[in-house]
Amino acid sequence: MKHCISIADMTRDEVELVLERAASFQGISDREIKKVPALRGRTILTLFYEASTRTRSSFELAATRLSADTVSFAASGSSVEKGESLKDTVLTLAAHSPDAIVVRAPWAGTPDLITQWTDAAIVNAGDGKREHPTQALLDLFTMRQQLGADLEGRSVWIVGDVAHSRVARSLIRILVLTGVHVTVCGPPTLIPHDIGALGCDVTFDMSGIADADVVYTLRLQHERMTAAGLLPSLGEYAARYQINHARLSPNQVVMHPGPVNRGVEMSGEVVDDPQAVITMQVKAGVVVRMAVLYELLAGARAGSPSTPIEMAA
């Protein structure tokens, strides 16, 4: 792997390698000293043009646990506010010779553009509504923790604002790639008419949700809604599509990428119920992002994930 930009670029073997490597990193997070020297002397830059809580903190933690040096850049408070372009910002930061750049931006295709301006490995931490590949990797990792390694033939329902969701696009791709049956469900105005081309079923009706092994809920992403009137009201949306105890059965696994708008796409009771594994997703985010950074920066000389990491370093 040279970059991690889209699940569409990954083979099933690459997905398996990253998840195996992530599993091998789990022990590090449980130690008292949560650090290995695997990426010592490497520099990882995080470049965030959009808000982030989970993704950014887990990338920084992942880099730190591998002993890499990190430089964080947030658009607010930087020269972007003085009119500096994406290209000039990247060229400026690339002068520090980072080994990897983790980028989140509101514009689809930003990570691909950046590959033209630097030799660093590029990791897409979310580009507009296109892709968020490390979220999909950590979600698959979490599903396997809950349901076992073999998810072939399992059913995942993705419910909510699919139209504005990069999480959904990456998640559908990775689940279809690994043989999971995917159904997307939401109001017709929030389901893209061509989403079925990714290999999922589409429904606007929640009545079949009992079939799902995993119910994956999406936030209404108002910040990306350019058209007006996509929903009659939040109350109407909640009445038809909210994930709450009346709609769930107790053995279903409930997931959400965060941030949650309690009482809108998911009831507060479900968020707080152990059946919702939202904090486990966050925890998985650190080891999966460690694995992605490791594969990009050291993978070629690392051997298989069963090679002890201290030796590989």
Residues near ligand NCD (CB under 6 A) are 54-55, 126, 132, 135, 166-167, 219, 221, 257-258
For 14-72, the DSSP string reads: HHHHHHHHHHHHHHHHHSSS----TTTT-EEEEEESS--SHHHHHHHHHHHHTT-EEEE
> What torsion, rounded to 10 degrees, do the Cα atoms 260, 265, 271, 277 define?
-80
Write down the least CB distance from residue 288 to ligand NCD, Å.
12
Q: How far apart are CB 271 and ligand NCD at their closest, in Å?
A: 14
Which C-beta is closer to ligand NCD: that of 257 or that of 299? 257
Q: How far is the CB of 54 from ligand NCD (least distance, A)?
A: 5
Query: Minimal distance in Å, beta carbon 56 to ligand NCD?
Result: 9
Nearer to ligand NCD, 109 or 258 (CB): 258
Nearer to ligand NCD, 230 or 312 (CB): 230
In the complex, the smallest distance separating the C-beta of residue 170 from ligand NCD, rounded to whole angstroms, is: 9
The residue (of 170 and 252) whose beta carbon lies closer to ligand NCD is 170
How close are the terminal C-alpha atoms of the chain, in Å? Answer: 18
Question: Which is nearer to ligand NCD, 126 or 299 (by Cβ)?
Answer: 126
Toward ligand NCD, which CB reaches closer, 36 or 123?
123
- Residue 161 Cβ, how far from ligand NCD at the closest point, in Å? 8
Choose among 173, 46, 49: nearest CA to 110.
49
Nearer to ligand NCD, 98 or 126 (CB): 126
Specify the residue, 166 or 181, whose C-beta has the smaller distance to ligand NCD: 166
Q: How far is the CB of 55 from ligand NCD (least distance, A)?
A: 4
Q: How far is the CB of 105 from ligand NCD (least distance, A)?
A: 11
